[in-house]
Amino acid sequence: ASVISRAMAADLVQEGLSVVALAALAAAVCEAISWLLFYRTDSYRDMRQAVERTNQKIAKAQEEAARSKEEQDAKGKARAKAKRVARFEEDLRLIDREIGNFQRNSTLAVVVVSIFIYAILCSSYEGVVVARLPFEPFEALDFLARRGLLGDDRRECSGALLYSLALVSFRSNLQKALGFCPPKKFAQVQAARQQAAYIHSKHMTL
């Protein structure tokens, strides 16, 4: 019985690994499409350079505004410097929006290809258990965890769940490794700096 169960476990691992490999391939294809339609283009490069230039202008303008406040310059001068910072921040928001609009086409192509690969996976792994879950998933996730599976065993894992998890992980990590990430949105960068300054001011430690 233990030989049979070891053989079954080996089969399960093999199925699981083949699903993970398919997810890795799908992630590579999606990133290749993103690179071809978006990251490789001159428009993206120009927009990225515009973001970096504007960030530098904002940093410089913030320094000048802070210095002006410290030196207690005339109210009008300090206000003008603060307005300058706000203007550059608005320029950055517009560039963020432009990047988002331009990225829409490549995102659409990636979604279409992802759906196609997902459909192939679901039909190939119909009724096939690819792994054993160490937990019972919520019923709300049954559409993914038990897709195409028969029987009542809630710890059986379908190809769809494993594929989705692996794809999320591989795509993000591939994007990070290859540098295929649009620059962080201005609002996120600002929020991170404000939170860091707050933590530092309260002398929070571990």
* CA 177 – CA 158 distance, rounded (Å): 29
- For residue 25, state whether it binds other proteins (rule: CB under 8 A): no
Cβ proximity of 167 and 27 under 8 Å? yes
Find the shortest distance in angstroms from Cβ 9 to other proteins.
4
Find the shortest distance in angstroms from Cβ 77 to other proteins.
28
* CA 59 – CA 38 distance, rounded (Å): 28
Q: What are the structure tokens assigned to 55, written together?
A: 């960030």
Find the shortest distance in angstroms from Cβ 134 to other proteins.
4
Q: Which residues of 177-194 are buried (b: 16+ CB within 10 A; e: fewer)?
A: eeeeebbebbeeeeeeee
- For residue 112, state whether it binds other proteins (rule: CB under 8 A): no
- Cβ nearer to other proteins, comparing 19 with 78: 19
- For residue 51, state whether it binds other proteins (rule: CB under 8 A): no
- Cβ nearer to other proteins, comparing 84 with 93: 93
Sole residue written with tokens 């233990």: 2
Find the shortest distance in angstroms from Cβ 206 to other proteins.
5
- For residue 1, state whether it binds other proteins (rule: CB under 8 A): no
Phi first, then psi: what are they for 132, rounded to 5°?
-115, 125
Subset of 126-185 contacting other proteins (CB under 8 A): 131-136, 157, 162, 165-166, 168-169, 171-173, 176, 184
- Name the segment binding other proteins (CB under 8 A); options: 2-10, 61-69, 102-110, 111-119: 2-10
- For residue 110, state whether it binds other proteins (rule: CB under 8 A): no
Instruction: Output the CA–CA distances (angstroms, integers) from residue 197 to 99, 186, 201, 203, 206, in the order listed.
Output: 28, 17, 6, 10, 16
